[in-house]
Chains A and B, each alone.
Chain A
Amino acid sequence: NAGVMQNPRHLVRRRGQEARLRCSPMKGHSHVYWYRQLPEEGLKFMVYLQKENIIDESGMPKERFSAEFPKEGPSILRIQQVVRGDSAAYFCASSPRSFSPLHFGNGTRLTVT
């Protein structure tokens, strides 16, 4: 049973470009969470999605960031017009039910130049 798959593993974008981060949850998992870890800082919750629905986006910046989890396909975290402060590791986690343990992927490391 494959774990949570995130791609790309590393992503380099110039300021002003768009970044699209993909997350394929574990088989049978319909709950997806996105976290961000800035350099030398802790993990910060961004958004919690259940198939086709955003349940909690209290940690998402109000502008430029969006997330989706369509009926078919991976969850996507989209960052428009990236800035240097967006450089971070972005982790996705999934679970089969809302209160089951979360299982994390190994993240996408975004570098904005």
Chain B
Amino acid sequence: DAKTTQPPSMDCAEGRAANLPCNHSTISGNEYVYWYRQIHSQGPQYIIHGLKNNETNEMASLIITEDRKSSTLILPHATLRDTAVYYCIVRVVNAGGTSYGKLTFGQGTILTVHP
């Protein structure tokens, strides 16, 4: 899987948009961008994923650059409960080997939402 680079930490004011960047300059054409988050003491929570088009769901929006080398996760109105570690992961769509389907977690970004 391609390596991703994320800032180690970010702050955001409650009610404002949180924009979390991710670089994945070595991404291949058959790899999706996935975002997960982990709130303290809980299991990782799936947020959103995309291939090349921007995506939006009830939790967040995912903006992928045209060259697919970077992306941004947007939480439109951050709340205190959004404080968590956010992981950007590049995941192979299909492969002939044994690594298909596996998610490889990096260090992520610690997002702290302040009142």
Contacts and interface: CB of A to CB of B under 8 A. Distances in A.
Contact of A91 (B43, B91, B101): B43
A76 to B, nearest CB: 18
Given A91-B43, A105-B43, A43 B49 contact: no
Nearest to A50: B101
Majority DSSP secondary structure for residues of B touching A: loop
Contacts of A56: 98-99, 101-102
B102 A33 contact: yes
Contacts of A73: none
Q: Is the interface of A mostly helix, strand, loop or mixed?
A: strand
A39 interface: no
Interface of A: 4, 31, 33, 35, 42-45, 48, 55-56, 58, 91, 93, 95, 98-99, 101-107
Given A91-B44, A104-B43, A104-B45, 4 more contacts: A99-B93, A101-B49, A104-B46, A106-B41
21 contacts: A4-B43, A31-B101, A33-B101, A33-B103, A42-B105, A42-B106, A42-B107, A43-B38, A43-B105, A45-B102, A45-B105, A55-B101, A56-B99, A91-B43, A91-B44, A93-B43, A95-B101, A101-B49, A102-B44, A104-B45, A104-B46
Interface of B: 34, 38, 41-46, 49, 91, 93-94, 98-108
